[in-house]
Amino acid sequence: MASKKIKASVIIPVYNEEKEIYNCLKSLSEQSYKNFEIIIVDDGSTDNSIEITKNFKGIKTLEQDHKGPGSARNFGAKKSTGEILVFVDSDMVFDKDYLNNLLTPIIQDRKIIGTTHELEIVKNTENIWSRCWGKVRISKEKANEVKIFRAIRKKDFLKFGGFDSSYGYADDQTFWFKYSIKPVVAKNTICYHKNPETLKSVYKQSKWIGASINNSLLKLPIFKYLVPFVLIITSPVIIFILSIIRCMKIKEFRIFFPWMFIFVTFRYFGTVRGIFNRIYLGKNAR
């Protein structure tokens, strides 16, 4: 059991999450570990997300212009009072012992600077587009490959300079990209995460991921200008192959046609548009 004397700060970046934030906060309010604060960082929301947070007492709310989750997490970290920072998303819910088990390795071993969770399950598998993404985001077998810190000592987070927003979608992997540092997997940490449920949201998420691809080849002139066009020209063949691979990965061959084929088409062209935005427009934002 983690020492309850150690205070944690749970930081949640929020950008138009009125449909999800209530369940996230309710789940946190039911944690077995009680010594923590919740910091909501409103990243320029235009919906009622922040109004919903007022249903819960003691939440610290910060506001900033829309700069992305990495910037929001950094802002929250600077305003936090806990010794350990915990970073979660507003569309996540948690097992009641999640925080306790996530913090325990850090508290018990001073050599461990941070942890990640062991199992991340998709919570909306009844939706066909969510099923196309897969039913498990992080499995116990693959958890040791994860490069995202869910909990980290505040002093180390600030020493490393926080998250680098230039990585876009992958800004929470900053410490891996810059310092080759990975978190320790905390045992018995289970959370549930929502996948995009509409083709529009699949496209937007893929566009953000595409704009965040950190590949040095894309910086070379020949690749920089040819890649987007090559990807478009070869799209029919690539989409067909990717659809098969995706079905094999998630073991869902019954949804290959038309669902997976449609899903991969939207993902593919969203990714291509993101690459285009990164190369030609210099955009890397959600």
Least confident of 2-6, 183-187, 209-213: 2-6
Confirm whether 90 is domain-assigned.
yes
Whether residue 147 is found in the same domain as residue 97 = yes
The arithmetic mean of pLDDT across residues 130-155, rounded, is 97
- At residue 1, the pLDDT reads 61
Whether residue 172 is found in the same domain as residue 242 = no
pLDDT one-digit tens code per residue, 22-48: 999 999 999 999 999 999 999 999 999
The arithmetic mean of pLDDT across residues 150-178, rounded, is 95
Confirm whether 249 is domain-assigned.
yes
Residue where a domain stops, chosen among 160, 193, 226: 193
Tell me the CA distances in angstroms from 68 to 8, 59, 117, 276, one per residue in order: 23, 21, 23, 19
Confirm whether 220 is domain-assigned.
yes
Domain containing 145 equals: 8-193
Confirm whether 83 is domain-assigned.
yes
Q: What is the DSSP letter of 196?
A: P
Confirm whether 210 is domain-assigned.
yes
The arithmetic mean of pLDDT across residues 123-141, rounded, is 96
Whether residue 224 is found in the same domain as residue 161 = no
Confirm whether 230 is domain-assigned.
yes
Look over the chain and give the mean of its residue pLDDT values, rounded to a whole number.
Answer: 93
Inform me whether the pLDDT recorded for 88 exceeds 80. Answer: yes
Residue where a domain stops, chosen among 163, 178, 193: 193
Whether residue 147 is found in the same domain as residue 251 = no
CATH (domain of 49) = 3.90.550.10
Confidence of residue 279 (pLDDT cuts 50, 70, 90): confident
- At residue 10, the pLDDT reads 98
Confirm whether 286 is domain-assigned.
no
Whether residue 45 is found in the same domain as residue 152 = yes
pLDDT one-digit tens code per residue, 196-244: 999 999 999 999 999 888 766 667 777 777 888 899 999 999 999 999 9
Whether residue 26 is found in the same domain as residue 160 = yes
CB atoms within 10 A of CB 226: 11
Residue where a domain stops, chosen among 193, 224, 258: 193
- At residue 3, the pLDDT reads 62
* Half-sphere exposure of residue 103: CA atoms within 13 angstroms, side-chain side: 29
Tell me the CA distances in angstroms from 5 to 8, 34, 36, 279, one per residue in order: 10, 10, 10, 48
Whether residue 142 is found in the same domain as residue 252 = no
- At residue 80, the pLDDT reads 98
